[in-house]
């Protein structure tokens, strides 16, 4: 008999529902239960692939090529697992499958209605994910904030499932308490309103996670409990925590795992879980690191009004952390706006302050010349540099221009008329774009990559065959393989059919670490299981 936990958000977005859901799944697994996480995005977009970073932050990619929300990355990193499209849905994908059913006469002539059919479709999808992952407990995170029109149908799904299985369904509200007022105190009223909004949707939360910059104190815990018909033990303090991997342990201090199990009528199957001990030890280690490694990420800035959004590279940041911690270093990560270098080349000198530099993935022409300047500077000054996807492509452009002498070389994504299209779109991709088939059509998800012996890549992976996740339309153009190789570029990873370049590098006799990947290794890095290429990069950076 499966159990269901729903996590929804109150007061404002960005309160950490994703990390909370992942942490809950983690602690329940420590008690011996198989858990999985599902993310519901309330957008009408069928997946996150068609949204830009300003709208949606990073697009995370699963092994099956699903383009989804960055919270899916948190789930994979916390649970050290690989999820599939069954664990992700949007309003668009729910409607799409419902309408496909209707068109095939699945409903046998009945009138198909928003309620109950949409929430029932949601429940069916949750059950499919539960079966596929063979999970005892499914934790489903409902995106957005309660009170928004767009997640009402998902709350309705919770109400219906609770009605069907009253003993098997829990609802957890992750809410926010502002630190405000003349006496600077945590204010509970917005959270009380959020709970009333849930009440008006026919729901009462079983737990409230009180997110705030401070721990929750007794009077305020009592206030929420008294005003919202709750037990005060079910109001959980969840103060800000810089080290997100510590959050499962913080929840355990509040005995959240045991409290959840009790409400679900479950007994802990395991008590002194080994992984929990190792996790705890690792957190202690990380908190006491004093050697530092400085990594600069040369990307483009995503501005929305007066604010700069840093969410777009979250998996890269986490991958740098995992690798640095594993080597005993505290990572200091710096943001560099590549457009600054286009305005003022002297600024490139600052790159000398970093142990290593990353050129992350991206699309379009903004900031590209600045990134190319940064690559040139790092190559010439022997600063370790790691290019991810667009990063690899721009390393090839830089090398073609400045080493192979192909003046004006470019990617056809930026300059379709370049004389030297060293990065070009595949024929099959051209056709898709002509027909405006943009959604879910890039080279996506896992592709096999063969690693050449005697290279940095092989030193890192220690094997000849790996699978890595992709998300791009452009590739290194085969017409230029020879000239690139003649000038020193090594293709250390190639696709299974031998036709596509997956990893490029320079010999370490020339440069300590000049390596780019056409795929996104950051999507496979996990807490306590860092990605080998990131480990190698950090190793050379600290050297």
Q: Could you count the other beta carbons within 10 Å of the beta carbon of residue 281?
A: 10
Q: Which stretch binds ligand GLN (CB under 6 A): 44-52, 130-138, 285-293, 360-368?
A: 360-368
Token look-up 């305020």 returns 220
Of 56, 117, 470, 520, which residue is the catalytic one?
520
Any catalytic annotation for residue 522? yes
Establish whether 448 is a catalytic residue: no
DSSP secondary structure code for residue 107 in this structure? T
Q: Interface with ligand GLN includes 302 (CB under 6 A)?
A: no
> Which neighbouring-strand residues pair with 208?
173, 235
Q: Tell me the closest approach of the beta carbon of residue 120 to ligand GLN, in angstroms.
A: 36
CA distances from 351 to 68, 185, 385, 393 (A): 33, 43, 11, 20
Spatial CA neighbour of 392 closest among 508, 475, 299, 499: 475
Say whether residue 473 binds ligand GLN (CB under 6 A). Answer: yes
Pick 56 or 223: Cβ nearer ligand GLN: 56
* Number of residue whose CB is nearest ligand GLN: 361
Question: Tokens representing 166?
Answer: 């009253």
Q: Between residue 371 and residue 400, which ones bind ligand GLN under the rule CB under 6 A?
A: 389-390
Q: How far is the CB of 244 from ligand GLN (least distance, A)?
A: 24
For ligand GLN, the closer of residues 86 and 368 by Cβ is: 368
Total of chain residues touching ligand GLN, rule CB under 6 A: 10
- Closest distance between ligand GLN and the C-beta of residue 411, in Å? 7
Complex with ligand GLN: residue 27 or 396, whichever CB lies closer: 396
- CA–CA separation, 98 and 138 (whole Å): 22
Return the beta strands (E) in 102-254 as ranges. Answer: 137-145, 169-176, 179-180, 185-186, 207-212, 235-239
- Measured in residues, the chain has a length of 543
Instruction: Report which of 98, 130, 128 is spatially closest to residue 115, judged by C-alpha positions.
Output: 98
Residue 458 CB, shortest distance to ligand GLN, in Å, is 24
Choosing from 329, 474, 519, 534, the residue that interacts with ligand GLN (CB under 6 A) is: 474
CB of 79 to ligand GLN, least distance (A): 24
CA angle 120, 126, 131 (to 5 degrees): 125
CB 40 within 8 A of CB 69: no
Answer yes or no: are the C-beta atoms of 507 and 489 closer than 8 Å: no
* Count of Cβ atoms closer than 10 Å to residue 293 Cβ: 22
Applying CB under 6 A, does 313 fall inside the site for ligand GLN? no
Among candidate residues 8, 389, 404, 449, the one labeled active-site is 389
Residue 12 makes CB contacts below 8 A (sequence gap 6+) with 145, 176
Residue in 23, 26, 55 with CA at minimum distance from that of residue 41: 55
User: Can you list the alpha helix ranges (DSSP code H) found in 104-151?
Assistant: 114-133
Q: CA 22, CA 81: separation in Å to the nearest integer?
A: 11
Residue from 362, 421, 493, 532 touching ligand GLN (CB under 6 A): that is 362
Cβ 287 to ligand GLN, closest distance in Å? Answer: 34
> Of residues 58, 67, 413, 424, which one binds ligand GLN by CB under 6 A?
413
Question: Which range of residues in 258-266, 276-284, 356-364, 366-374 is near ligand GLN by CB under 6 A?
Answer: 356-364
Q: Is 472 in the site for ligand GLN (CB under 6 A)?
A: yes
Cα dihedral 503, 509, 514, 516, rounded to 10, equals: 0
Greatest CA span in the chain, whole angstroms? Answer: 75
The residue among 251 and 447 lying less far from ligand GLN, judged by its C-beta, is 447
471 binds ligand GLN (CB under 6 A): yes
For the bound state, the minimum distance from the C-beta of residue 392 to ligand GLN, rounded and expressed in Å, comes to 8
- For the bound state, the minimum distance from the C-beta of residue 60 to ligand GLN, rounded and expressed in Å, comes to 12
CB of 208 to ligand GLN, least distance (A): 38
Using DSSP bridges, classify how beta strands 67-68 and 60-61 pair: parallel, antiparallel or unpaired: antiparallel
Give first-to-last CA distance, the chain, whole Å: 53
Per CB under 6 A, which of residues 38..77 are in contact with ligand GLN? Answer: none
Query: By CB under 6 A, which span of 207-215, 267-275, 447-455, 471-479 interacts with ligand GLN?
Result: 471-479
Query: Contact, 86 vs 128, CB < 8 A?
Result: yes
Return the range that interacts with ligand GLN (CB under 6 A); candidates 153-161, 219-227, 469-477, 500-508: 469-477
Residue number, 401 or 472, with CB nearest to ligand GLN: 472
- Among the listed residues 302, 363, 467, 481, the single contact to ligand GLN using CB under 6 A: 363
Stretch that binds ligand GLN, among 272-280, 447-455, 467-475, 504-512 (CB under 6 A): 467-475
Strand stretches in 311-442, DSSP E: 330-337, 356-359, 385-388, 410-411, 421-425
* Per annotation, catalytic residue among 156, 468, 522, 536: 522
Residues 122, 91: Cα–Cα separation, whole Å: 9
CB closer to ligand GLN, 141 vs 398: 398
Q: Is the CB of 147 or the CB of 387 nearer to ligand GLN?
A: 387
| Residues forming the site for ligand GLN (CB under 6 A) | 361-363, 389-390, 413, 471-474
Catalytic residues: 389, 520, 522
């Amino acid at each position: 008999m499966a159990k269901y936990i729903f996590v929804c958000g109150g007061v404002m977005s960005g309160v950490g529902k994703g990390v909370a859901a992942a942490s809950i799944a983690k602690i329940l697994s420590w008690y011996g239960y198989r858990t999985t996480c599902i993310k519901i995005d309330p957008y009408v977009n069928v997946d996150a692939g068609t949204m830009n970073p300003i709208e949606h932050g990073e697009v995370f990619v699963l092994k099956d090529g699903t383009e989804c929300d960055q919270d899916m990355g948190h789930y994979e990193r916390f649970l050290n697992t690989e999820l599939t499209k069954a664990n992700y849905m949007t309003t668009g994908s729910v409607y799409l499958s419902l309408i496909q059913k209707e068109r095939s006469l699945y409903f046998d002539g009945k009138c198909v209605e928003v309620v109950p059919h949409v929430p029932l479709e949601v429940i069916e999808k949750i059950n499919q994910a539960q079966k596929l992952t063979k999970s005892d407990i499914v934790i489903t995170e409902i995106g957005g904030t309660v009170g928004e029109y767009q997640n009402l149908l998902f709350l309705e799904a919770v109400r219906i499932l609770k009605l069907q299985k009253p003993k098997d369904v829990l609802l957890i509200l992750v809410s926010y308490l502002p630190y405000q007022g003349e006496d600077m105190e945590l204010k509970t009223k917005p959270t009380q309103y959020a709970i009333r909004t849930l009440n008006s949707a026919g729901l009462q939360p079983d737990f409230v996670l009180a997110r705030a910059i401070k721990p929750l104190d007794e009077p305020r815990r009592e206030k929420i409990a008294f005003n919202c018909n709750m037990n005060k033990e079910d109001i959980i303090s969840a103060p800000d925590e810089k080290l997100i991997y510590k959050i499962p342990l913080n929840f355990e201090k509040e005995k959240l795992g045991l409290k959840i199990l009790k409400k679900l009528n479950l007994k802990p199957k395991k008590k002194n879980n080994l992984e929990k001990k190792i996790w705890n030890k690792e957190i202690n280690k990380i908190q006491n690191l004093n050697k530092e490694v400085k990594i600069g990420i040369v990307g483009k800035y995503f501005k929305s009004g007066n604010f700069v959004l840093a969410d777009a590279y979250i998996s890269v940041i986490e991958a740098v952390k995992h690798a640095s911690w594993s080597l005993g270093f505290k990572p200091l990560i710096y943001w560099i706006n590549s457009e600054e270098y286009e305005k003022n080349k002297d600024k490139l000198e600052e790159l000398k302050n970093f142990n290593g530099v990353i050129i992350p993935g991206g699309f379009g022409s903004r900031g590209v010349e600045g990134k190319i300047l940064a690559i040139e500077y790092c190559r010439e000054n022997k600063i370790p540099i790691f290019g991810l996807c667009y990063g690899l492509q721009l390393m090839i452009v830089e090398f073609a221009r400045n080493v192979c002498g192909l003046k004006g070389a470019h990617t056809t994504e930026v300059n379709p008329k370049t004389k030297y299209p060293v990065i070009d779109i595949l024929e099959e991709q051209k056709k898709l774009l002509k027909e405006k088939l943009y959604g879910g059509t890039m080279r996506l998800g896992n592709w096999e990559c063969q690693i050449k012996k005697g290279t940095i890549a092989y030193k890192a992976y220690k094997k000849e065959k790996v699978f890595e996740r992709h998300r791009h339309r452009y590739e290194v153009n085969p017409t230029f393989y020879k000239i690139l190789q003649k000038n020193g570029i090594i293709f250390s990873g190639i696709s299974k059919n031998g036709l596509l370049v997956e990893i490029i590098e320079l010999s370490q006799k020339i440069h300590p670490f000049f390596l780019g990947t056409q795929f996104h290794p950051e999507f496979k890095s996990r807490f306590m299981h860092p990605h080998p290429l990131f480990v190698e990069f950090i190793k050379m950076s600290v050297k």
